[in-house]
Amino acid sequence: MEKDNYKPKNKLQQMGEILYLCHTINKSLEANISSIARSCNLTGPQLHILWLLDMAGEKVSMSYLAEAGSWHLSTVLDLIKRMESKKLVVRSINQNDLRITNVEITNEGRKLRRKSLDHFKKSQIFQLIDEKDSEWTERLVSCLKEFCFLLKENYPETTEKI
């Protein structure tokens, strides 16, 4: 699709273009994230968990990770077991509620997360966005946030894990 030559004629065509563009963005992001994860000897979901834990800055529950990553709790348990064997995370029982297992990133996990950030800064996606001015980036973020908000507000059953 050429940049400015195609103009949708009606709402249905606009919706088709939105779906096409979202699909293109998603595939590109997935490819970049997979490449970054492989460079750190991780899977995409493992990298995602490291980022979630590092951003949280504290212990979080397995349920929190499941919700934030849109995974089933059993998937998170399997991912955490594998990451624990690599000494990237540690699990502990919540002393206030023994039914809750908390997860925390280790120093080794933080090092790997920082390494992934270095790889991210060299990625195609980062380079493309970095070339744009901050006003352009702010507009993009604003439009994407607004669209996500509308989805969550109007279709909570299909976006509950977004």
C-alpha to C-alpha distance for 42 and 46, rounded to whole angstroms:
6
The pLDDT of residue 154 is: 84
The pLDDT of residue 160 is: 57
The pLDDT of residue 82 is: 96
All structural domains of the chain, each given as residue ranges with its CATH number in brackets, are 12-131 (1.10.10.10)
127 pLDDT more than 60: yes
Own/partner contacts of 113-117, CB < 8 Å, gap of 24 or more, are 113/50, 113/51, 113/54, 115/39, 115/40, 116/36, 116/37, 116/39, 116/40, 116/42, 116/47, 116/50, 116/51
pLDDT digits (tens, 9 = 90+) for 62-101: 999 998 888 899 999 999 999 999 999 999 998 888 888 9
Averaged pLDDT score across all residues of the chain? 88
The pLDDT of residue 5 is: 67
34 pLDDT more than 60: yes
142 pLDDT more than 80: yes
Q: Do 36 and 116 meet the contact criterion of CB atoms below 8 Å apart?
A: yes
Whole-angstrom CA distances from 156 to 69, 130, 146, 147, 159 are 16, 33, 15, 13, 5
pLDDT band per the 50, 70, 90 thresholds, residue 155: confident
pLDDT band per the 50, 70, 90 thresholds, residue 158: low
